[in-house]
A and B are shown apart, each in its own frame.
Chain A
Amino acid sequence: MAQNQPDRGQRGLPGGSPRYSALALAKKAMNYHQDWQRAWRDPEPKSEYDAIIIGGGGHGLATAYYLAAVHGINNIAVIEKGWIGGGNTGRNTTIIRSNYLWDESAAIYEHSMKLWEGMTQDLNFNVMFSQRGVLTIAHSEHELREMSRRVHAIRLNGIDSEILGSAEIKKFVPTINIDQSIRYPVMGGFLQKRGGTARHDAVAWGYARAADDLGVDIIQKCEVTGLRRQGRKIIGVETSRGFIKTKKVGCVVAGHSSVVAAMAGIHLPVASRPLQALVSEPIKPILNTVIMSNAVHMYISQSDKGEMVLGAGVDKYNSYAQRGSFSVPEHMLAAAVELFPVLSRLRMLRHWGGIVDTCPDASPIISKTDIEGLYFDCGWGTGGFKATPGSGHVFADLIANDRPNKIAAPYTLDRFSSGLLIDEHGAAGVAH
């Protein structure tokens, strides 16, 4: 599996007009950077498209890009209620990894990882993909034993993964506290060196620019208010800017998936919950990797600007409010300060919540529906950012060919009646 490279599309040179290069930067500097063109157009919606993607987040824009780049379907629109990348794409902690337990998960997240590894070149847009490693910590003997079982399963799927003891962790991450007397002592951990972070906004902008360059219309401030059907067939979408005709609609709306699905009379097994994160004031480099802890639902990394980026687990109740309860980050910060005492006097600058669409088996839905021409890519829950390119790639394939490929096939909506769930709850060091 690890050997297969995804089809990145037949585009010739990495695209995007204007081309970004050091030379272009120097040239534009002569004119105080006044004459950079728009990175993408702001078109009026046409009356008809071959396909419409609802949702201009990373997944939606990636879907549109791969539809155009790989499948040659260019007459498409991405319809976004707000502005692109303004939802969960801009509200996550930017962690990327592919160390999942089950074969189905390993396949899709590793597919994604391979696309991450070439994304900056593919899009001619620096997404600041940094493979600084993702280290998941175990706080008990049992967790460590369970972790080594996972590490072996992950390695059998051809994905890099290694176990570290607490002394090795201390060597790798000098700021961490490995004192065994703390509430959640560091007993060991597992590391995926190819994991890391990327600049989330750049991912949305890079896909938008490259998709726009291939003729995709990105229509912002346009809300979908209904799905028009003829019998069991989609014939178009009602929007706040009028009716748009189309035969294929891909819904990639994360937390609002149930709302859009209800427009077509479809009910999903999804619950929308707030997921909170926060960043500190910027400080000098103190953390060279991403640290995650399943037991305390904490993940932490340091951005290139120097801010400490911290994320927590989901809140316990359904919400569409893009804010959560204070107790969740409070619990997470208490553990973070114990693990990294150096953080204790750090001030937090910003704090936010995103509405994530969680599934009962903590795995996504990439599926056709019983309405012809209506497709859903949702249920990514707390782990959607890392999947952005892979999700877009296989979803574009599903929309173009009207059948899921091998990677997408297990993620059908039917699994909730067949019982073929992909139970990833906490299975790969993730705070689901």
Chain B
Amino acid sequence: MLIIPCPHCGPRDEIEFACGGEAHIARPLVENKISDAEFANYLFIRDNTKGLFLERWHHSAGCRKWFNLARDTFTHEIIEVYPMGSLPKKASARTSYSSSWRRGTLAEKAAKTGKHSQTEGRK
């Protein structure tokens, strides 16, 4: 059983949480034309790290807020908890972020390099 340190409610039992899987997956913008295979990298392909893994959790039976966790998938040790939309601060977790294969995918680049933002595109 994991004891998960919710950034808002403090340490709570794992049964109060839902796991949202790999963190930091950016959706490619609509105006970026990438291939189906590249889009699959965003939609289906997942990092499945043995070791330090950055993942999203939801305190579904508590404050109902999302947050990120840096957790070792082999020892289950929780290294760091950090808010959505930010990067981890610990060096090992930072390395885990920057060394992920995902950083080099076209899908991720297509999430950042669009000329217009998604909201502008809808106008």
Segment touching A, from B24-32, B73-81, B90-98, B109-117: B73-81
**CB proximity of B39 to chain A, nearest CB, Å:** 7
Interface 1/0 per residue, B1-27 and A, CB below 8 Å: 110000000000111001101000000
Please pick, from B2, B13, B43, the residue contacting A317 in the complex, using a CB distance under 8 A. Answer: B2
Question: Given A327-B1, A327-B15, A417-B39, A270–B46 Cβ distance below 8 Å?
Answer: yes
The docked-state distance in angstroms from the alpha carbon of A256 to that of B44 is 18
Contact status B76-A419, CB under 8 Å: no
Q: What is the CB-to-nearest-CB distance from A332 to chain B, in angstroms, rounded to a whole number?
A: 14
B1, B2, B36, B76: the one contacting A417 at CB < 8 Å is B36
Cβ of A419 to closest chain B Cβ, rounded Å: 7
Distance in Å: Cβ of A41 to nearest Cβ of chain B = 31
> Please, how many angstroms separate the alpha-carbon atoms of A258 and B71 in the complex?
18
Tell me the bound Cα distance from A10 to B86 in angstroms: 61
Known: A256-B50, A268-B48, A271-B46. A416 touches B40 (CB 8 A): yes
Identify which of A265, A272, A360, A416 contacts B73 (C-beta below 8 A): A272
**Docked CA distance A350–B90 (Å):** 38
Least CB distance, B99 to chain A, in whole angstroms? 11
Report the bound CA distance from A390 to B40 in whole Å. Answer: 28
Residues of B within 8 A of A272 (CB): 48, 50, 73
A318, B45: Cβ atoms under 8 Å?
Answer: no
- Interface residue tally of chain B, by bracket? 20 to 34
- Is A320 among interface residues, defined by CB-CB distance under 8 A? yes
- Inside 8 A of A258's CB, which chain B residues have their CB? 47-50
Point out the residues of chain B lying under 8 angstroms from A256, CB to CB.
Answer: 50
Is A426 on the interface with B (CB-CB < 8 A)? no
The answer to the question of A259 belonging to the interface, with a C-beta cut-off of 8 Å to chain B, is yes
Which B residues are in CB contact (< 8 Å) with A317?
A: 2, 19, 55, 71, 73
One of B18, B35, B39, B74 near A320 (C-beta < 8 A) = B74
Neighbouring A residues of B73 by C-beta, 8 Å: 272, 317-321
A270 touches B76 (CB 8 A): no
Given contacts A317-B19, A318-B48, A416-B44, contact A326 B36 (CB under 8 A): no
A230 interfacial contact with B, CB 8 Å? no
With A and B bound together, what is the CA distance between A259 and B49 in angstroms? 7
B66 at the interface (CB under 8 A from A): no
- Residue contact A417 to B19, C-beta cutoff 8 Å: no
Contacts of A121 in B (CB 8 A): none
**Given A262, A269, A319, which contacts B76 in the complex, CB threshold below 8 Å?**
A319
Closest CB in chain B relative to A326 CB, distance in Å:
5
Residues of B within 8 A of A267 (CB): 41, 45-47, 101
Q: Is A5 an interface residue (CB 8 A)?
A: no
Q: Is A418 close to B, CB under 8 A? A: yes
Chain A residue with Cβ nearest B18: A316
B63 proximal to A (CB < 8 A): no
Interface string of A236-274 (1 = CB under 8 A from B): 000000000000000000001011001001011111100
Q: Does B37 contact A (CB under 8 A)?
A: yes
A259 and B50 CA atoms in complex are apart in Å by 7
Interfacial chain B residues near A325, Cβ < 8 Å: 1-2, 14-15
A325 and B16 CA atoms in complex are apart in Å by 13
B53 located at the interface, meaning its Cβ lies under 8 Å from any Cβ of chain A in the complex: yes
A326 x B1 contact (CB < 8 A): yes
A-side contacts of B14, CB under 8 Å: 325, 327
Considering the complex, give the chain B residue whose CB is closest to the CB of A361.
B44
B50 in contact with A320 (CB, 8 Å) = yes
Q: How far is the CA of A203 from the CA of B21 in the complex (A)?
A: 34
B40 partner residues in chain A, CB cutoff 8 A: 269, 416-417
> Closest B-chain residue to A269, C-beta based?
B44
Q: How far is the CA of A350 from the CA of B22 in the complex (A)?
A: 32
Question: A132 CB to closest chain B CB, in angstroms?
Answer: 34
Q: Specify the chain B residue showing the minimal Cβ separation from A324.
A: B1
Residue of chain A at shortest CB distance from B37 = A417
Q: What is the interface of chain B, defined by CB distance below 8 A to chain A?
A: 1-2, 13-15, 18-19, 21, 35-37, 39-41, 43-50, 53, 55, 71, 73-76, 101
Q: Could you list 9 examples of A-B contacts with CB < 8 Å?
A: A267-B47, A268-B48, A269-B44, A269-B45, A272-B48, A318-B49, A319-B76, A320-B50, A326-B1
Known: A269-B44, A317-B55, A319-B76. 10 other contacts (CB 8 A): A262-B101, A270-B46, A317-B2, A317-B73, A318-B73, A319-B73, A327-B15, A417-B35, A417-B37, A419-B36
The 8 closest A-B pairs by CB, nearest first: A258-B48, A417-B40, A269-B44, A417-B37, A416-B44, A317-B19, A417-B36, A316-B19
